[in-house]
Structure 1
Amino acid sequence: MVYRYESDEDAFVEYPRSGSDLPEFTPGPPAPAGPSPSRFPTPSLPRTTRPALPAAEPIPVRSSVQIPPPPTLPREYAPAEPLDPPKAGRSDSGRGGGRLWQVIVGGAAVLVLLALCGLGAAALLAERSPDDDRTAAAPQPTTAAPVTEPDAGDLDSRDTDQQPLTAREVFAGKKLVVADGRPAYDVLKTHSSGSCAVAVTGEIADLLVRLGCSQVVRGTLRSPDGDHLVTAGLFNLTDKASAQRVRDRIRQLLDERQGRFRGLAAGDGTEALSTAAARIGWQVRGHYIAYCLVVRADGGPVPGGDTAVRDIIYDMIELHLDKGVLERRAAGGTAVQPTARATEGAGTQRGDANPDELPGD
C-alpha cells in the first residue's frame, strides 16, 4: 500500500536561509485546540456496510399467573384432621429440616444399637470353644463329696480341731527318734490330764485356766547321752490368740518368779526334774503350746551356753512336737497348710525343794 501527500506542506521543506527567494516563516494565529489532523490520513478503502439485525419481537407479559388447583385425593387418603397452619416466623423449610435431623439421629441410634449387639454376640462366640461345647454336651459323672473325719480341722481353733490329744499320739513307744540317723531318746513316762495346773504353778497356772486350757499331755525322756532329763508336752488352748497371749506372758512370770513349769518325775534317778534348775523352751502352733524342760541328770546347774541343752530343746519342740505330732494332726484333717510358726521362747527356772509328785498313767 502506497501513501501520498495531500499537499506541498506535508513535504519536507528546508528552513529558508537569509537572502534566499523563499518566503520567511511568519507566525500566524494559534492552532485550534483539539487533536491535530493526522499526518498520515486513512487510505481510501471501500466502505462495507454492517448487516442490520431484525428487531426482536416483544414478549407478552401476563398481568396475572393462574395456578392450577391441587388434585382432589380419594376419601380414604384424605387427612382426618386439618393440618395446623404454620406459625409466624416458622417456614415449611424449617419443619422439613427438623424432620430430616430426626430421621438422621434415629437411624444413627439404630446403627449403634445393632453394632453393640453384634459385638456382644461375637464376644460370646469367641469365649465358647468347641471343647466347651463337647464338655457341656457330655454328661458329667456325679462324685460324692469327701467325707472328713470328725476330728479333722484347722489347728488355729479347737472348734475345727475338736479331737483331744492322747498320750499315745504324742509318745507312741518307748523309744523316740526325732530324725533319721539320729540316736533315740528313751521314753520313761507319759501323762495326760484335763487340768493344766498339774504341769505348772503360780500365775502361769492361773493364766492357763483363765484362757481356757483344757488339756496337757507330757512325757519324761532321757537324752541319748544319758546326761540330761527332759519333760516335754503340749497345752491345749481354746484358739491361737489365747495360746499367743500365754506365750507372751510366760517369760515375764518366770523372771518375776511368779510361776514355774513342773518336771514329771519317773522314778529313781529322775529326782533332778523336780529339784534342779532347768532350762525351758516354748513355742505356739495353732491353739497348742509346745514346751520342753531340760535338767542335768546329776542335778547340777545348766550353763547358759550349753549347746547340748539347746539341741535337746530343738529336738523336742521343733522336730518332734511341731514337725511330728502337730504336722500329722494337721495333714490328717482339713488343714492343708501348717499354721505360721510362732516365736520360740526360752528361759531358766530354779529348782523346787519340795516338788509335788504326780501319778503316772
Structure 2
Amino acid sequence: MVYRYESDEDAFMEYPEPGSDRSVLGAGPPPPAGPSPSRFPTPSLPRANTVALPSAAPAPVRAAAQVSPPPAQLRAPAEEQPPAPLPPVEPPPPVQPLSPVEPPLPAGRSPRGGGGRLWQVVVGGAAVLALLALCGLGAAALLAERDRTPQATPTAQPGSAEVEAQALDSRETDQAPLTAKELFPGKQLVVADGEPAYRVLKSQSSASCAVAATGEVADLLVRLGCTQVVRATLRTPDGDHLVTTGLFNLTDRANAERARDRIRLLLDEREGRFRGMAADADSAAIATAPARVGWQVRGHYLAYAVVVRSDGESIRSGDTKAREILFDTIELHLNRGVLERRADGGTAGQPTDEGAGDTGTQDGGE
C-alpha cells in the first residue's frame, strides 16, 4: 500500500531507539507499526494496477523499543516501480466466412449447375435452327415442284357469258315472253313442299296491262312500257280466301321500280287499284270485295296479288292469313319459283329483290 504524508510534523516524527525506555505519546499500548495516521483524510486512490499479495499473518505488536526502519530504508513508492508487464494477449484467429451450403441435387442431375443449363440452351437452339432449316428446304422443294407443274387454265363454263348478258334487268336481255303455262302449269299450285295446294280457278295472258288495273294505276303501267300481264285466280286450301296474282312485264328495272313507288301513292289516294279476275259466280267476290294487295319488283317484272274473303266481307287489319297468302303467291311462287327458274334457265342472272322497299300492301275495294 502506498501512503503519502500530508504534513511536516508527520514526516519528521522521531522514533525511539532500540532498548530506550521512552515511550511514544505517553502511557498506553504502543502504536502500531508503520507510519502514523494523517490528520487529514486521504482520498481513496484507484487500484487499477494493484497486485494482490498473498495474505500473511498479522504482524505482532512490538514494544515501544521496536520501531520501524528509518525512512531512508523504506521501499520506493509504487509509482516509481514499473508494474510487471502482462503477458501479451494473442489476437483471436480470424473468422473464416461460411460457404453457402448447396441443396442436394436430385438423382440423375449433374453437379454442374450453370454450365449444364448453358449446354442445354445451346443444344436446344441448335435443334430449333435445324428444324427451321428443314422446313425451309421442304417449302423450297414444294415451290420448285409447283413451278415445274404446268398450271391448268380455268375453262369458262358453257353458258356463263350468256347468263351474264341475259339478265332480268331489261327486256332486251330477257326477250322471251311470259306464258300462262310457265306461271300456272296445272290446276294445283304447291308453293312449298309439304304445304297444301292452292286450286287454280282461271289463268290468263294478255298484251294489255290495263285489263289487270283501273284508273291511274292502269295508265301508269302503260306509260312505263308494260306490254304483257299474266295472271290467275286461285282459291286457298281452306276455301276462305280468293286471290288473283301475276306478273307485269315492263321495259326495264328502272321503270318497274318507278311503278312500284308510284302505285303506293295512287292506292293511298284511291286513284286506281289492281283488279281481281273472277272465274265463275263462286269467285265473283274477287272483283268486288274489299281487298288486301301486295306487289314486289325483280328485274323488269312487277309481281302483284289481290286477296279477298270468299264471303265478300272486309279483311281485318290484323288478319295474318291474308299476309300468309300474299307471301305464298308473290315471294314463294312468282319470285323464288317462276323468276328463279327463268334465271336458272339462262335468261337472267339477277339476285332476288326483297324487303319492304320492294314490296307493298294495300287494303282497298270498289
Change (3 A) 1:146 1:251: closer
Q: Tell me the distance in 1 between the aligned counterparts of 2:329 and 2:316.
A: 19
Aligned match for 1:263, one of 264, 273, 276? 276
Of stretches 219-228 and 332-341 in structure 1, the one that deviates more from structure 2 is 332-341
Partner of 1:107: none
Q: Look up the match of 2:323.
A: 310
Which amino acid letter does the alignment assign opposite residue 256 of structure 2?
A
How far did 1:255 drift?
1.5
Between the aligned partners of 2:155 and 2:292, the Cα distance in structure 1 is 57
Q: Deviations over 1:152-187 (max 9, x none)?
A: 821111111110110000011100011111110000
Q: How does 1:47-196 map to 2 (within 5 A)?
A: 131=146, 134-135=149-150, 146=159, 153-196=166-209
Residue 248 of structure 2 corresponds to residue 235 of structure 1: yes
- The secondary structure found in structure 2 opposite 1:294 is strand
1:278 to 288, 291, 301: 291
**CA–CA distance in structure 2, aligned partners of residues 214 and 243 of structure 1:** 12
Gaps of 5+ in 2: 1-142
Matched residue, 1:201:
214
Partner deviation per Cα, 1:302-324 (whole Å, 9 max, x = no partner): 11111111110110011101111
Amino acid at match of 2:229: V
How big is the shift at 1:135?
Answer: 2.4
TM-score of the aligned structures, taking structure 2 as reference length: 0.56
SS at 1:260's partner residue?
strand
Query: Of 307, 320, 325, which residue of structure 1 is paired with 2:338?
Result: 325
Identity among equivalent pairs (%): 63
Whether the 8 Å CA contact 2:163–2:349 is kept in 1: the answer is no
Report the Cα offset of residue 148 of structure 1: 7.9
| Alpha-carbon separation, structure 1, partners of 2:154 and 2:330 | 46
Q: Distance in 1 between matches of 2:240 and 2:156?
A: 57
- Normalised by the length of structure 1, the TM-score is 0.57
Q: Aligned equivalents of 2:263 and 2:323: distance in 1?
A: 19
Distance 1:294 1:152, change over 3 A: farther
Deviation at 1:144, TM superposition (A): 9.4
Please say if 1:290 is aligned against 2:303: yes
- Name the CA distance, whole Å, in 1 between partners of 2:309 and 2:330: 18
d(CA) in 2 for partners of 1:320, 1:161: 20
Point out where structure 1 has 5 or more consecutive residues left out of the alignment. 1-127, 352-361
Q: Higher Cα Rg: structure 1 or 2? A: 2
Distance 1:150 1:257, change over 3 A: same
Structure 2 Cα separation of the partners of residues 188 and 250 of structure 1 = 27
Three-state SS of the structure 1 residue aligned to 2:242 is strand
| CA contact 2:168–2:350 (8 Å) conserved in 1 | no
2:362 maps to a residue whose letter is G
Residues 226 and 141 of structure 1: is their aligned pair in 2 closer, same or farther, counting only changes over 3 Å?
closer
1:167–1:191 Cα contact (<8 Å) kept: yes
Shift of 1:268: 2.0
Tell whether 2:315 aligns with 1:341: no
Worse-matched range after superposition: 146-155 or 313-322: 146-155
Once superposed, what is the RMSD of the aligned Cα atoms? 2.7
Can you list the C-alpha shifts for 1:54-81, whole angstroms capped at 9, x where unaligned? xxxxxxxxxxxxxxxxxxxxxxxxxxxx
Counterpart among 230, 233, 236 of residue 220 in structure 1: 233
